[in-house]
Structure 1
Amino acid sequence: MNNASTTKVSTEWLCNSNEAVEIQLHQSNYKDRFSPNFTYPIFGKHEQIYGYKNLKIKLYYASGSLSTYFNVSFDQKITEITPVAQPDDVIGKIKEFIPKDFTTNYDTFLNIVESDSLNFRPMGEKIDEYYTRRNDNGDDTVYEIYKTNFNTPKFKEFHRRLQIFALFYIEGASYIDEDDEKWEIALLFEKKNTSGTHIYNLVGYCTMYAYFYCDRGKITSVEKSLPQNSTLSHDIRMRISQFLILPPYQSQGHGNKLYQSLYQSFLANSLIKEITVEDPNEPFQDLRDKNDLRYLIDSKLLENIQLPVDKQAVENTRHKCRLNKRQMARCLEIYLLRKLNKTNEKSYKNYRLHVKERLFRHNEDALNQLSREERLQKLEETYRDVEDDYQRILLLL
């Protein structure tokens, strides 16, 4: 076979793995259908599957318990045409990432969905709830937030079904260690009242990890996790790791509600001295900025801070709101920009110098390799980008 023919056959038998995977959340009388954003952890960086025509990979979940139906179908397999060709082992690859308690019988799955809708209840401790108006009748829908960990009965089994959603929707995500007791997980459920029966549907979740906290202004130390047998009696740096609202519930304010609830629970815990986030993507950083700023403004913690900034006053405020230094500096700069009168040339200059001083410290090694003129130009360009981004954040408030 010539190269042109080989290329044609190869392309003909390739499909995009994101498009091949179909996810459904099944309620007793309703289902949501959607596709993953990422499948490279399962099928490789090119997110392609070889050897099938019209391939469909079905991962259906009971919307509360996440009991799973798994099925793979296709119109044609390349071995029917070219026996020596080796198609990708789709079933084997998926099985590496889901627990063994799935069913391949659709009728059995529907029976499980019906049963779970009546019997499933969230695990862990309920820490908050909120209401939204969702339908034309004006009926309130209740949403409940539960905090749990891997010692909670039945949670490990639930989490093994849940964790693949992190791979599908959080770039760079990986599975967390269920044997590490320092993980905490918050689960957000929709609570529906159907004919007097409460039915729970998973909306989203957040994983968090408790690290030792040490004041880096006093002690130079790498971040260390708490000992395995610790009773969490030490000061804690709480790190948000994975934060996800499932696609059917996105852009409805649930991410804000979950973040606000967790933030208040952190503030209520005197052992938690600082709140950090692991490698936030832009949408989550926006959510974080917006909610941290709202809290700081509503609580009037920044009311008396103005340029030139009293660094000790800022540090005292930071300890009260538990933000890490980078996030505190970012929120303060956005807040000062919000108050700034740009027509006052002196005030605007002082603000620019304040921001540029931080930018220089953050990029000092790279900037010192430039000439003075190049350094000033680079700082000005970076400052403009930062101010534009801050203006964008202010529009979200």
Structure 2
Amino acid sequence: MASDGDWTCDANDALHLSLVQPSEDARLKTLSDFQPQFTYPIFGDEEQIFGYKGLIIRMRFAAHDLRPHIHISYDEKFKPVGDIAAVDLLKTLKPWIPEEAFVVLPDYEKAIVEDKDAKDFVPPGKLVHSYVTRQRTYEVWAGSLADPEVRRLLDRAQVFVSLFIEAGTPIVTDDPEWTLERWTVYFVYEKVKPPVPTASQYSIVGYATTYRWWYYQRDKTQKPAVQDSPFPPAEVIRPAQLPSRLRIAQFLILPPHQGSGHGIHLYTTIHSACISDPTISELTVEDPNEAFDALRDTADYHILRSEFQKHKLNINPDPYGVPAKKPRPRRVPTSALIPTKLLSEIRSSFKIDSTQFAHISEMYLLGQIPLKKRLAGGSNMARLLIKKHNADDPDDRRYYWWRMLTKQRLYKRSRDLLIQLDLSDRIEKLEETVTNVEEGYEALLKAFNAREEELKAREEDLDDDVLDESGEGFRVQRNKRKLTVEDDEDEDEDEEEDSPVKRPKA
């Protein structure tokens, strides 16, 4: 009998994904093929499949409406021995794929090739944005999850969440209509030339989901009073009428289209919808990974930079005044270093949540300090730590205060854990994290500025092309903005960003 190793294969290698459309010879043509990044939600943490040799699981999707199909082939299957048997692939896959995917192969190909409705297909919802990248046309469509067509398309797409978003969870789409109305789905499509007259001109690129999170806002100008209102109310209150935060839950550009700026377009489209909706207070993101953080930082930096420039935002190098006051106060108010009221107004008007806004403003303020005065440019850190706010050069003083402001934010967010450390360890951890944060900002600033210089050299339109290719095209991952504190006690790993998190478990 063969050993277990001979009958075990890597699930990521065995699974083949592709987008297909009809071809001129009445067969299916593959537009793109790719493999998953993760398969542990389906096949377990080891991402291994037992019981087959030469296993190939082909998962195909119609490029326009994602009609799915699964075809399984293998050279040899393990014969059961006692309780040991090959993985039941159909049973394992069915919870993740719509039932329609398990039709006989000729029936699937025939259904796609002979689909009379494909030529008239338009994505569900409404067109909210269109753009051109590398002479190819793309559109973003948005629709409510309460729309059956939106729901059907999302149900077909949700397997991608498990295959490409780490710890991603498919959305439950059989909730009551009122709950489904909280959700909006954004689909990104490329408009392609149909290979045959009956084929669709749309090919899926990616999608995102957002939901409204009720946000309590009390009118402080009015005194609280008991109201005798009927229950249930005479008129049904729809989710779109309620004050809310908007949260991005899922966000995915399929691998064949990554690195071309589609994520930036999708994010800025969602942000624009947030800005134009008076019931939404701010845009947030549910548990973003580092790659999405970099994309989001690039997009928000582009959005906010012109506003910061308009107000000539910078750090005051002399918060004590010129000449410096004597005796100096023990503490310097943050408002003496940066215009906190103005920043609060900008944040509210652009509806960016406070932590993300702090990151963008920190990155911008760092960029206002000449490179040679920063760590990345070879600044003399030992001298700066001695001179501090007494440094002769105002840019040295700005850099000193920039690090102090960043430490202040990190300390506030992580105070409960930091106060458990000795003072020397606390200082060391903050220094390490500030340096880590700064390195991440430097990578983003360098990539953003390099792209700008390239655009100027090519004399292309800045606004269109920076959004065209800046985000994913940079392929930048900022450094983790977190402290690491070792401890023997178990800790929840889902901590707030920038906090001293992920203590190794015993």
Q: Given the two structures, how large is their TM-score scaled by the length of structure 2? A: 0.70
CA contact (8 A) 2:314 2:368 kept: no
Quote the residue 2:37 is aligned against.
37
Report whether the alignment pairs 1:70 with 2:70: yes
Paired residue type of 1:186: Y
CA shift for structure 1 position 347: 1.3
Quote the residue 1:145 is aligned against.
140
CA distance in 2, matches of 1:292, 1:262: 12
Matches within 5 A, 1:328-343: 328-341=357-370, 342=373
CA shift for structure 1 position 214: 3.5
Paired residue type of 1:127: V
CA distance in 1, matches of 2:269, 2:78: 51
CA distance in 1, matches of 2:253, 2:295: 12
| Range 153-162 or range 34-43, more displaced | 153-162
Paired residue type of 2:205: V
CA distance in 2, matches of 1:371, 1:83: 59
Match of 1:165 among 146, 160, 164: 160
Paired residue type of 1:65: D
Quote the residue 1:247 is aligned against.
255
CA shift for structure 1 position 202: 0.6
SS in 1 for 2:100: coil
CA distance in 2, matches of 1:150, 1:378: 45
Q: How many residues align?
A: 374
CA contact (8 A) 1:207 1:243 kept: yes
CA shift for structure 1 position 109: 2.3
* CA distance 1:198–1:161, change in 2 (3 Å): closer
Paired residue type of 1:94: L
CA shift for structure 1 position 315: 1.1
CA contact (8 A) 2:187 2:204 kept: yes
Match of 2:418 among 335, 356, 367: 367
Higher relative contact order (CA 8 A, sep 6+): 2
CA contact (8 A) 1:64 1:200 kept: yes
String of CA shifts for 1:132-181, please: whole Å, max 9, x gaps: 23xxxxxx422111111222242222221111011110000111121232
SS in 1 for 2:201: strand
SS in 2 for 1:72: strand
CA contact (8 A) 2:121 2:200 kept: no
CA contact (8 A) 1:145 1:186 kept: yes
CA distance in 1, matches of 2:83, 2:186: 49
Report whether the alignment pairs 1:396 with 2:425: no
Report whether the alignment pairs 1:109 with 2:111: no
Report whether the alignment pairs 1:257 with 2:262: no
CA contact (8 A) 1:305 1:313 kept: no
CA distance in 1, matches of 2:83, 2:349: 67
Quote the residue 1:118 is aligned against.
119
CA distance in 2, matches of 1:287, 1:69: 32
| Range 305-314 or range 114-123, more displaced | 114-123
Report whether the alignment pairs 1:232 with 2:227: no
CA distance in 1, matches of 2:97, 2:133: 33
In angstroms, what is the RMSD of aligned CA positions? 2.2
CA distance in 2, matches of 1:320, 1:302: 15
CA shift for structure 1 position 84: 5.6
CA shift for structure 1 position 395: 2.0
CA distance in 2, matches of 1:231, 1:71: 41
CA distance in 2, matches of 1:9, 1:193: 51
CA shift for structure 1 position 117: 4.4
Quote the residue 1:306 is aligned against.
314
String of CA shifts for 1:80-128, please: whole Å, max 9, x gaps: 7x47631111111111111111253333322333326424321111111
Paired residue type of 1:189: Y
Quote the residue 2:149 is aligned against.
154
* CA distance 1:231–1:383, change in 2 (3 Å): closer
String of CA shifts for 1:53-94, please: whole Å, max 9, x gaps: 1111111111111111211111111117x4763111111111
CA contact (8 A) 2:205 2:257 kept: yes
CA contact (8 A) 1:302 1:317 kept: no
Quote the residue 1:221 is aligned against.
none
SS in 1 for 2:313: coil
Paired residue type of 2:248: I
Quote the residue 2:320 is aligned against.
none
* CA distance 1:293–1:214, change in 2 (3 Å): farther
- The structure that has the greater radius of gyration is 2
* CA distance 1:34–1:74, change in 2 (3 Å): same
Task: Mark the runs of 5 or more structure 2 residues left unpaired by the alignment.
Answer: 24-28, 221-235, 316-336, 374-392, 449-506
SS in 2 for 1:57: strand
CA distance in 2, matches of 1:214, 1:318: 18
Report whether the alignment pairs 1:183 with 2:180: no
String of CA shifts for 1:36-64, please: whole Å, max 9, x gaps: 11111111111111111111111111111
Quote the residue 1:98 is aligned against.
97
CA distance in 1, matches of 2:88, 2:202: 35
CA distance in 2, matches of 1:105, 1:149: 33
Q: Which has the higher strand share?
A: 1
Paired residue type of 1:118: K
Paired residue type of 2:124: M
Task: Mark the runs of 5 or more structure 1 residues left unpaired by the alignment.
Answer: 134-139, 219-227
Quote the residue 2:299 is aligned against.
291
